[in-house]
Amino acid sequence: MSDAKTTPPEKPAQSQGMWIAAIVVAVVVIGGGGWWFLRGGHGLTTASTAKLPAMIGTMAEGVTQLDTTLPPEDKICSTTLTRALDFGALPAGATLVSSDAQASQPEGHYTCQAQGSDGKYTLVVDATCPGSQNKTCYALDSVKRDDGTMAYRRRPWPWSG
């Protein structure tokens, strides 16, 4: 026999628990997003906007006169080694074979030798100043592996597009 006035059985508390969990998750997401926005997270850098090493060949932002001025002759190779490591043109841990820079051709270029875990490298410095007779500018021109392959090459002057 069925009584039409009977109330249906109560649903388990599980559905109420699901609603509570959904509300808690929404509060955490909204609160976390607000915290991130107010703390400046929206200004995080991406790969396309991250500050990269000052690539002298492209006169990137942050280039100073000190970055583009030829260092004293006894510091040319150490400065060039640091620049090549910063550019990722040499393996980490590479060292100079000699701290003496060798004058090379064309005029206004110097070479330094470095040793990496995978072999020797020749680093070429360009001290010419395009459009000037001065030989006091400084740019890492190229890094060449001992087998002749290029690990780094600066764009030729005048730079195109």
What is the distance between the alpha carbons of residues 94 and 98, in angstroms, rounded to a whole number?
Answer: 12
pLDDT digits (tens, 9 = 90+) for 30-82: 888 777 777 766 555 444 444 544 444 444 455 555 567 888 888 999 999 99
Asked if residue 135 lies in contact with residue 104, where contact means CB atoms within 8 angstroms, the answer is: no
What global pTM score does this model have? Answer: 0.56
What is the distance between the alpha carbons of residues 145 and 120, in angstroms, rounded to a whole number?
Answer: 6
pLDDT of residue 59: 44
The string of DSSP letters for 110-136 reads EEEEEEETTEEEEEEEE---TTSS---
> For residue 153, what are the β-bridge partners?
142
Specify the amino acid at residue 96: L
